[in-house]
């Protein structure tokens, strides 16, 4: 796990210019979405069109831009993996737009569909079991406990499968063809190592997000706490926050910069860690597996 994390942080250290480019791309996307959101909220809350169903449609471009930014994120994630798996392909900050990215997108859609199907099937099955327990025991407390445990089991299954198949993305990039079965095979016996690395990266990302959010929304949370117990005051605070969210201000720009920094670091750490894990597990295919960035 230490070697995986070393590779992830080494990506930021050794490919700092590329990470800066990825951060800049996210920053531009954040600012574009911020401007679009400001205009959409202004149109949706305009008193002259209040109640007009068409006003809600003004938010459609915002949703479309967020979808585009998500696709851009996939391209950047692929670039982070490429920086580890193909360090010689450093031009244009490892960014490409070709079959590698299309395969990553197809793989993501496939796993997302499988996850939805599994979540639905297991949720339905556990739901029926919970209802049966509730009817049989007539104890709301015990039924709630069973539902909670079942929910944890569903989550555990999803996490297990996610970790076991996570190597499919870097291996597909490395092989230049879809790789699913080998991802399951290579991860056998390495679940806790991969899970531990993913957990550490996730905690780091969560902490960074909380830091940016607390800086941007600190006054909002403090105002909510001050208004606790007073519904009228709470509504005033919420309304003021909505009005602020629709304004292009220095604070919103600072928040966008912070969000872009977090996104750039997250892309480098998440993409770099899983690519490093894949590279270490197929080390015989690289000339120098010990020197990830050599």
DSSP secondary structure, 20-33, as one string:
HHHHHHHHHHHHHH
* C-beta of residue 141 within 8 angstroms of C-beta of residue 133: no
Residue 244: predicted pLDDT: 59
pLDDT-based confidence at residue 290 (cuts at 50, 70, 90): very low
Rounded Cα–Cα distance for residues 31 and 27 (Å): 6
Residues of the chain with pLDDT > 70: what percent? Answer: 75
Tell the burial category of 252 from Cβ atoms under 10 Å away from its Cβ (0-12, 13-18, 19+): buried
* C-beta of residue 35 within 8 angstroms of C-beta of residue 247: no
* C-beta of residue 217 within 8 angstroms of C-beta of residue 240: no
Rounded Cα–Cα distance for residues 129 and 122 (Å): 10
Tokens of 39: 């205009």
Tokens of 244: 């602020």
Residue 155: predicted pLDDT: 85
Kindly report the pTM of this predicted structure. 0.81
pLDDT digit string, tens, across residues 67-113: 888 899 999 999 999 999 999 988 899 999 999 999 999 999 999 99
CA nearest neighbour of 73 among 211, 251, 259: 259
Tokens of 191: 């679940």
pLDDT at 185 over 70: yes
Residue 292: predicted pLDDT: 44
* C-beta of residue 263 within 8 angstroms of C-beta of residue 23: yes
Q: Which residue has the tokens 């449609």?
A: 57
Determine the average pLDDT of the residues in 203-223.
Answer: 76
Residue 294: predicted pLDDT: 40
């Amino acid at each position: 796990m230490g070697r995986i994390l070393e590779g992830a942080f080494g990506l930021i250290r050794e490919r700092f210019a590329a990470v800066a480019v990825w951060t800049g791309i996210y920053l531009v996307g954040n600012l574009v979405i911020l401007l679009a959101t400001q205009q959409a909220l202004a149109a949706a809350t305009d008193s002259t069109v209040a109640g007009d169903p068409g006003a809600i449609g003004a938010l459609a471009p915002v949703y479309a831009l967020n979808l585009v930014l998500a696709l851009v994120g996939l391209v950047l994630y692929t670039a982070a993996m490429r920086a580890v798996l193909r360090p010689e392909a450093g031009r244009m900050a490892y960014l490409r737009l070709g079959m590698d990215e299309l395969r990553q997108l197809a793989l993501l859609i496939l796993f997302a569909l499988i996850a939805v199907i599994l979540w639905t099937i297991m949720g339905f099955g556990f739901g029926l079991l919970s209802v049966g327990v509730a009817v049989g025991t007539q104890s709301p407390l015990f039924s709630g406990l069973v539902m909670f445990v079942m929910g944890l089991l569903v989550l555990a299954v999803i996490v297990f499968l996610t970790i076991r198949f996570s190597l499919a993305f870097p291996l597909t990039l490395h092989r230049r063809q879809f790789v699913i079965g080998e991802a399951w095979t290579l991860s056998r016996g390495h679940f806790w190592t991969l899970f531990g690395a993913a957990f550490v990266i996730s905690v780091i990302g969560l902490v960074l997000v909380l830091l940016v959010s607390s800086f941007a929304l600190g006054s909002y949370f403090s105002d909510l706490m001050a208004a606790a117990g007073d519904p009228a005051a709470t509504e005033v605070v919420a309304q003021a926050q909505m009005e602020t969210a629709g304004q292009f201000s220095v604070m919103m720009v600072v928040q966008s910069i912070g969000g872009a920094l977090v996104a750039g670091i997250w892309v480098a750490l998440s993409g770099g860690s899983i690519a490093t894990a894949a590279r270490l597990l197929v080390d015989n295919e690289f000339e120098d597996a010990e020197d990830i960035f050599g």
